[in-house]
Structure 1
């Protein structure tokens, strides 16, 4: 077949397919045009999910009458002048393909009026062909009506979902831009019914209430340390991140090139979703889809959420436009960072600091029939000042400095006794992480309220009394958390080694031919978590030592579970292999449900839990304790 140049009609439809896949893409492009035009009130109307009609109305600066036909030309834009402008893009649009692509697959009517023009002008384009231009009566601003989307591309229509589904995608787009611009008023009308309308007050809390509902919004915390409340909008964040709702996007002349500013709100561990769809990311107030930043948010909840649960978040990253490339994909939802690791670390640390410092202990209430149930709002039990100190200590990352001593050999009891340097009569030694000394005595760490052990229920739960009421502690989950943090601190200590127990006689582990190479590739990781294991020919490995915490346990059974997990790649997607294996060891070594503990053992477990960095959840994200307040007890007994 001879080489030939495609016709302009075919080329237009191909280009449109890259920009416009569904009605929501049209809304996104038109919303961004309205925002670039300086509009502070934007109205979106759709019928039949946007397939029949999609209209966007704004009060922006408008387009002069003589430029209306040019607006539909390919690569026509008012936002770029030279190739150098691509290095610091500060507008949402810049490619000059949106209106051209939309008009190629629909019937578009654009009516616009600048403030200095006494009348409006209207132009109609069908299938990419200009039909008419005339005067019109309209207020200052622009109205774009898109009718019969994909009328000339039947194949694309077949891939559209039901009208309700497409309308849902459009609503999500409008809500995301309302989050990014709380100072602007967005309205969404679906089939004549007002579905969403933001206040335009500049208060981010107002938008969160509308999108998530009050019950969910009050369970979200600020990344800048301020509690989420009515009146705490982006202006309040300006004190810490210089990010104001009424401020324009930073320019290269005003932005600190070394700064990565992170703000926004994330949910407490008590508020989760089954997937990552509730994590909204914005870079310079542009909505983006970035797997790396999403992973940073999820990783910040490490050991705080159950497997398969994900947080809700609205996170804003502001960075020098010259340090981010938005010209990656025609839909402009993907970006590349010059220093991706720096941005990843900034997001992860900001989220981790906020969540760990604000996450409360789950509290139980009593309903009218005397049954236990979670309360709607769980107050924080941390004394004043402890949350801020905790946040400051966690600023360096997930693991704050702790002064936990390496575990000695197991005693005859169920729980080993971990004594502080002061308790052993030795001077305190500052903990060291990554070679930097940071004094961190236990007395400086935020702890649980003082707890007095009362007893044990069902050989599974420890009953304790505190100033805030009654606490039920899951002994297995609590001991898992204790062992996990001791493991991590030993790994981060001066020698970077965990305590090992050498075996009297080496054990032989057979893993099968399929897993031999995989186990061999992870030998170094197994060494770091306390196993001494070496190849022994074929599919066999020789085990010479096991972690000391497994004293009394069968190390071969633990190794078999580890090998199985490596083979299935189970739970190894959102965290490091080493952290996953450590959790498996701790789960096996922790006291079990159904195991009777003496009073001294229960007191020792609670004392060790108080010294943990994150005592409220086990490494797998399950709660270690629940609380029944004194007032709820009085209510249950009819005293109030």
Structure 2
């Protein structure tokens, strides 16, 4: 058989280059927002300090990106539309050192294959610019032209030669929404760059370059400009460094929660990525801080050696893989939990301790940019009394070493009226329900019942996890009769009940002898404690909690301080100390807030002083 005959019989053909480019374009260019992303990333890689995005008909008719970057030579202007033409990498080793946003050399070729594209570019030292025009992958014109320094790329009639793709585009409102989301991501990643967005001759955004010396302040201002001033005010700064990676950015306060994940931004080496595993490390830290079904706001930047992250996973470069995802997850979760736990304490402290107070290296007084060790930082631990000392300090001259508080019992026992505070302190009990105290930034109002529930809940969880809770033996054991269903439930929960501190003996039938109870039970409650605990446990069953969490919640709710209980100053201070030592001090186990903070700014505004 001759080669000619073989060719005639062959069913496999090599596709024309124009057809192959159109097919490949589908991976890179999915909608007008994809064009905006690729062109703006090229502008950022070119060192632009000002970028303008111009749209017509939500990008279907026109997407134009103008920048003041370094520009290109005439040869590069012609070559950049060839597939796999790039200035970013030369060898396979360069893939391990990628710091630029683009590197695959596919974006411009893909865009040019499905649209009418005009490029104008000029370097600062060139006398004239250069213009390249391409339609459907075919070169139409390449000639000198007059243009400003930098590059302008105009993409018209996207998918004009692929009708099926054009028909699949959504409504202009939907496509414009995707473009705005892409624009916000790119503007967040580079606060030092100015961005302008124009749509149908209407200015949507004009973001000036942020010039503050502090990168954190530049990012905070950009967040406020993009999303509104309330976002900038309700964020918690994060800045931690390890030998493996650094994390910086902002976490939204719990009250800034949203119904969707649309306002969660992860950047790896300033590249926006979607990574559900790492997103979970952040969102799980907000557990019980925000209502179920809602999502926190955050903008986080991870910086690490490019050798530890693979960005060449997908043509859109929105997915990455790490060589130690588990380790990064642990570090990130520890950093976020630490920031959330310190959020309502650190901002109230003075910038530095006065001369009369020795400086401390405790974790609570360290400024940002601390170092933690892999695979994760341990939860914050502060010595009892330290929080009160800082929280209530008024003036440096008045600061005295705080006495070591006593351990708060499960039920704070009311003391007699004679045991009033010996001196005036900035702490009050309001209607025997709330604790009011002055803090550096204003006032802090604490719900004593919700706060004590949180303390008891975490204590019960620790006892259940360790399998050992302190027990007090009863002088006269109590014999209780239960229904068959409750008796069966006690049998099922017996190991957990013993871990909480119950000393129980089960007899045949429905009899249970209670010989010991947890050491923090209120006096006189021994007989009803187990009955009430089972009733609360059954009431929680519709929540589908684990048996441990259900028991911990039930114990906390059963034994927490009741509204109407009078507390002494010492008890109130101890309650606050133990609350801030909790891993999640801001909400009760059932999701009720434990505290409300009123800032001086808010008080001034309410009194008309703003």
TM-score for the superposition, normalised by structure 1: 0.69
Aligned partners of 2:503 and 2:172: how far apart in 1?
60
Matched, 1:269 2:254: yes
Structural mapping, 1:153-164, within 5 Å: 153-164=162-173
- Residue-pair matches, total: 525
Matched, 1:208 2:223: yes
Who is 1:479 aligned against?
A: 452
Deviation readout 1:209-254 (Å, 9 max, x if unpaired): 3113223212223213xxxxxxxxxxxxxxx86xxxxxxxxxxxxx
Q: Determine which of 347, 350, 364 is the counterpart of 1:390.
A: 364
Structural mapping, 1:235-250, within 5 Å: none
Aligned partners of 1:155 and 1:212: how far apart in 2?
35
* Contact 1:415/1:605 (8 A) holds in 2: no
Aligned partners of 1:76 and 1:609: how far apart in 2?
62
* Contact 2:69/2:149 (8 A) holds in 1: yes
Who is 1:585 aligned against?
A: 554
Shift of 1:305: 2.9
Q: Determine which of 305, 314, 317 is the counterpart of 2:299.
A: 314
Deviation readout 1:413-456 (Å, 9 max, x if unpaired): x5579xxxxxxxxxxxxxxxxxxxxxxxxxxxxxxx85333533
Matched, 1:452 2:433: no
Q: Determine which of 359, 362, 365 is the counterpart of 2:344.
A: 359
Query: Relative to 1, partners in 2 of residues 1:467 and 1:275: Cα closer, same or farther, differing over 3 Å?
Result: closer
Who is 2:381 aligned against?
A: 400
SS of the residue 1:352 aligns to: helix
Shift of 1:523: 11
SS of the residue 2:147 aligns to: coil
Shift of 1:72: 1.6
Matched, 1:72 2:81: yes
SS of the residue 2:124 aligns to: coil
Deviation readout 1:355-401 (Å, 9 max, x if unpaired): 3223279xxxxxxxxxxxxxxxxx84899769975265997344536
* Contact 1:89/1:321 (8 A) holds in 2: yes
* Contact 1:476/1:590 (8 A) holds in 2: no
Structural mapping, 1:41-56, within 5 Å: 41-56=50-65
Aligned partners of 1:39 and 1:164: how far apart in 2?
29
Who is 1:336 aligned against?
A: 321
Aligned partners of 2:382 and 2:362: how far apart in 1?
15
Aligned partners of 2:223 and 2:237: how far apart in 1?
12
Query: Relative to 1, partners in 2 of residues 1:603 and 1:105: Cα closer, same or farther, differing over 3 Å?
Result: same
Shift of 1:28: 0.8
Query: Relative to 1, partners in 2 of residues 1:582 and 1:133: Cα closer, same or farther, differing over 3 Å?
Result: farther
Structure 2 residue runs of 5 or longer lacking an equivalent are: 1-9, 213-217, 354-359, 385-404, 415-424, 505-511, 522-528
Query: Relative to 1, partners in 2 of residues 1:37 and 1:467: Cα closer, same or farther, differing over 3 Å?
Result: closer
Matched, 1:34 2:43: yes
Query: Relative to 1, partners in 2 of residues 1:467 and 1:118: Cα closer, same or farther, differing over 3 Å?
Result: closer
Matched, 1:122 2:103: no
Matched, 1:97 2:67: no
Q: Determine which of 106, 114, 122 is the counterpart of 2:115.
A: 106
Query: Relative to 1, partners in 2 of residues 1:621 and 1:197: Cα closer, same or farther, differing over 3 Å?
Result: farther
Who is 1:299 aligned against?
A: 284
Deviation readout 1:160-192 (Å, 9 max, x if unpaired): 333233223222322322222222222111111
* Contact 2:210/2:222 (8 A) holds in 1: no
Shift of 1:587: 5.6
* Contact 2:83/2:105 (8 A) holds in 1: yes
Shift of 1:197: 2.1
Aligned partners of 1:67 and 1:6: how far apart in 2?
27
Who is 1:260 aligned against?
A: 245
Who is 2:234 aligned against?
A: 219
Aligned partners of 1:316 and 1:625: how far apart in 2?
30
Query: Relative to 1, partners in 2 of residues 1:263 and 1:302: Cα closer, same or farther, differing over 3 Å?
Result: same
TM-score for the superposition, normalised by structure 2: 0.72
Aligned partners of 2:270 and 2:205: how far apart in 1?
20
Matched, 1:607 2:581: no
Aligned partners of 1:346 and 1:416: how far apart in 2?
41
Who is 1:462 aligned against?
A: 434
Structure 1 residue runs of 5 or longer lacking an equivalent are: 225-239, 242-255, 362-378, 418-448, 513-519, 534-541, 571-576
Aligned partners of 1:543 and 1:72: how far apart in 2?
84
Is 553-562 or 303-312 further displaced after alignment?
553-562
Aligned partners of 2:168 and 2:183: how far apart in 1?
22
Structural mapping, 1:438-449, within 5 Å: none
Aligned partners of 1:127 and 1:583: how far apart in 2?
66
Matched, 1:624 2:594: yes
SS of the residue 2:364 aligns to: helix
* Contact 1:79/1:94 (8 A) holds in 2: yes
* Contact 2:85/2:106 (8 A) holds in 1: yes
SS of the residue 2:96 aligns to: helix
Query: Relative to 1, partners in 2 of residues 1:110 and 1:565: Cα closer, same or farther, differing over 3 Å?
Result: same
Matched, 1:170 2:175: no
Is 299-308 or 74-83 further displaced after alignment?
299-308
SS of the residue 1:390 aligns to: coil
Query: Relative to 1, partners in 2 of residues 1:624 and 1:82: Cα closer, same or farther, differing over 3 Å?
Result: same
Shift of 1:118: 2.6
Aligned partners of 1:69 and 1:632: how far apart in 2?
59
Who is 1:497 aligned against?
A: 468
Matched, 1:199 2:208: yes
* Contact 1:76/1:96 (8 A) holds in 2: yes
Q: Determine which of 253, 276, 288 is the counterpart of 2:273.
A: 288
Matched, 1:347 2:320: no
SS of the residue 1:262 aligns to: strand
Query: Relative to 1, partners in 2 of residues 1:3 and 1:628: Cα closer, same or farther, differing over 3 Å?
Result: closer
